[in-house]
Amino acid sequence: MSDHSSPLLIIAAGGTGGHMFPAQALAEVMLKQGWRVKLSTDARGARYATSFPKETEIIKIKSATFARGTLLAKLSVLPTIIMGVVHSVASMRRDSPSVVIGFGGYPTIPAMSAALILKKPRMLHEQNGVLGRVNQLFANRVHRLACGTWPTRVPAGVQAEHVGNPVRDAILQSSASIYKTPKQCLDTNQAITILVLGGSQGARILSQVVPEAIALLSAQLKNTVVVYQQARAEDKPAVEAFYKTHNIASDVQTFFDDVPMRLVTSQLVIARSGASTVADISVVGRPAIFIPLATAIRNEQEANAQGLVDAKAAQMIIERDFNATNLAERIEAILTKPDTAAKMAAAALSVAKPGAADELAKSVRELADLV
């Protein structure tokens, strides 16, 4: 049974890793500081919440989006959201939160709406360099707006604080881990590891281009690399077959549940530039080539990558320029030129914010005291 004398934080987060990972990081810190934590999400979001600390109470509340589905589905959106808000209001009346924080995604709408109706202290955390649609909706209706990427474009008149993107304990434990350079790998007869992360959507283009690019590398480099690649289930057999045909060492999976370990052992990361991915790479300190998701509505993935690109920690290839030849040239330059990879790894660490979860937790506690 929860001790209701402890302050309660309600975290509202949508059903993607990009929203859930920083939400999980905050939950880990707040629980250690003696708070109770409830996660308000929908059924899809709950599937991403399996790594949350076991003390986190998960409240599944129905929500919906106008962004997809049939006309019939769109007509049911408003009633679904209203029911979710009613459910959230009832829950908050039974167990009053000290603060409600939203991390974005449409499943956050019921909890943030209920907090607004009940006049609870409320804040948002935006992971990307551009506010998501739900966070835009609530940006001028909250007491605080914390941003993970800086600068973040916010509505006129809205003040924002830069706290960084909280990363999970597993990533923090790998923070600033020693980077083994490509030359050190060669000198000790170890493989040079390339980690390919596609994110929760849109990894198909990586499955098409990356294997071809690896095949174009110089024979010396190609024979020393091992590729760890995330691929969609429907793309996995073709990717595996390509690597096998070209005698390229690889491990292709639909999902890596040990990303922190794989980041630590990699010499180069090729990835989408979702906010959490960018934060993880910077905190661990690894060179990266980012391919922002072209279909991102607000072009937020380019904004996410820009900080590491400006710091010379990463390179960015926009999708229209993303082809095997271009990528092979970039990989070759990073992994074969003396000091390039090591300088990029150090530059990534220079812009990292490993204390982001603590800073966000401090902001939550301040808000609880202020309002």
| C-alpha–C-alpha distance, residues 258 and 81, integer Å | 35
| C-alpha–C-alpha distance, residues 115 and 123, integer Å | 10
pTM for the complete prediction?
Answer: 0.89
pLDDT of residue 67: 61
pLDDT of residue 1: 39
> Are the C-beta atoms of 269 and 287 separated by less than 8 Å?
yes
Residue 122 carries which side chain, given as an amino acid letter? R
Q: Is the Cα torsion angle 195, 196, 199, 200 positive or negative in sign?
A: negative
Eight-class DSSP state of 108: G
Torsion angle of the four alpha carbons 111, 117, 119, 120, in this order, in degrees rounded to the nearest 10: -10
- 3-state secondary structure at position 251: strand
Q: Is the Cα torsion angle 317, 323, 326, 331 positive or negative in sign?
A: positive
Total residues found in the chain within this entry: 371
Q: Which residues contact 66 (CB under 8 A, 6 or more apart)?
A: 74, 77
pLDDT of residue 165: 96
| Residue 119: count of CB within 10 angstroms of its CB | 8
Give mean pLDDT in consecutive 10-residue pieces for the chain, a chain of 371 residues.
Answer: 79 86 95 97 87 94 69 73 95 97 94 98 95 94 94 89 92 92 95 89 84 97 96 94 97 90 96 93 97 82 93 96 97 95 97 96 96 74
